[in-house]
Every structure is written in structure tokens, then in C-alpha cells.
């Protein structure tokens, strides 16, 4: 009677996560296989949580490298970047090493967290690309959904973070 013994997702939802909703809690392994509990990140910084289709694909590599290249700007705005895909921890480890990614990549091999956030699929079959801005209280303040505009997620996220801080978005 212990069917929930090793579930990596600790909450269930039936609707898409909307702006103003609390971000669902979850636990996923990072690139080293170490479990990361999302709730442990809440309260420390704003979180830029981005879901992407797959490591080593052209769009996903461009997106990850754009987050890397702007990582200091995110840190200056008090935010942490966290990427999620269905790749294994080992694949993430190679991706992080190859492109020197300074932020967390989490492995959602079974797609449970993607489902938890109800990240839409492109054309009904491909994993979608959605970025959420989550404040220090764990509330979703913004979401951006664009499969083909992989690098557009970065300036959009920076603009929202500046707005949250009351800064000019120029």
C-alpha cells in the first residue's frame, strides 16, 4: 500500500498554471542526479523556470546559451534560472559541461512536472517551450510560450523581472 513511495511530483493539478497561481511543488534530479526540491528555491530569489524540448537540438542549445550569456543580468535582478526537459541527468551533465551552463537543469524523464504545469505540446506531439517567472513567494507572475522563438524567452524574462523590481524595462 505504498504506491506513492518514490513519486518525483508532490502535487497534482488539473488545469494549466496561470499567472497569479502558486507554482506547483515538485522534486526532480539535477544534472548530477541530486534531487532538487522546488520549494527549497522559493523565498530565496525570483525563479525563471523554463521548460524546453531537448538538449543538443539547435533551438534548445541556442536558448540555453542565451540564458548562459545573460545569466549575470538575471543574478543582478535577483533571479535564478532553472531549465527542465525530459533528458536524463547524464544528458544534462554533458550539456551543462559542453556549453558551460551556470544554472540548474532538471531531469523530468517521465514528463510529470511538464504535465503538472500543463505545458502545451507543439502540434500536439512535441514538448513545448514555456518560461515562467515565479516570485519569491512562489506565485507565477508571468508566462511566455513560444516553441520557435527560443531566444525570445530571455529578453521577455528580463523585462518582467525589471518590472517586478519597479525598474524601467528599456
The residues assigned a catalytic role are: 60
- Cα(65)–Cα(101) distance, integer angstroms: 7
- Cα(49)–Cα(71) distance, integer angstroms: 13
The answer for residues whose C-beta is within 8 angstroms of residue 112's C-beta and 6 or more apart is: 7, 8, 9, 26
Order of strands across the sheet that contains 46-51: 104-107, 79-85, 46-51, 130-134, 140-145
Amino acid at each position: 500500500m505504498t504506491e506513492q513511495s518514490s513519486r518525483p511530483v508532490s502535487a497534482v493539478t488539473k488545469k494549466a498554471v496561470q499567472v497569479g497561481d502558486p507554482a506547483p511543488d515538485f522534486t526532480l534530479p539535477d544534472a548530477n542526479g541530486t534531487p532538487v526540491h522546488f520549494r527549497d528555491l522559493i523565498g530565496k530569489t525570483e525563479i525563471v523556470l523554463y521548460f524546453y524540448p531537448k538538449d543538443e537540438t539547435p533551438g534548445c542549445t541556442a536558448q540555453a546559451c542565451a540564458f548562459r550569456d545573460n545569466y549575470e543580468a538575471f543574478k543582478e535582478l535577483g533571479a535564478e534560472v532553472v531549465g527542465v526537459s525530459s533528458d536524463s541527468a547524464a544528458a544534462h551533465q554533458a550539456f551543462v559541461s559542453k556549453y558551460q551552463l551556470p544554472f540548474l537543469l532538471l531531469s523530468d524523464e517521465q514528463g510529470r512536472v511538464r504535465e503538472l504545469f500543463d505545458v502545451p505540446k507543439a502540434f500536439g506531439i512535441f514538448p513545448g517551450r514555456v518560461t515562467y517567472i515565479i516570485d519569491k513567494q512562489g506565485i507565477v507572475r508571468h508566462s511566455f510560450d513560444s516553441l520557435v522563438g527560443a531566444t525570445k524567452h530571455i529578453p521577455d524574462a528580463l523585462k518582467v523581472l525589471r518590472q517586478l523590481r519597479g525598474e524601467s524595462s528599456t
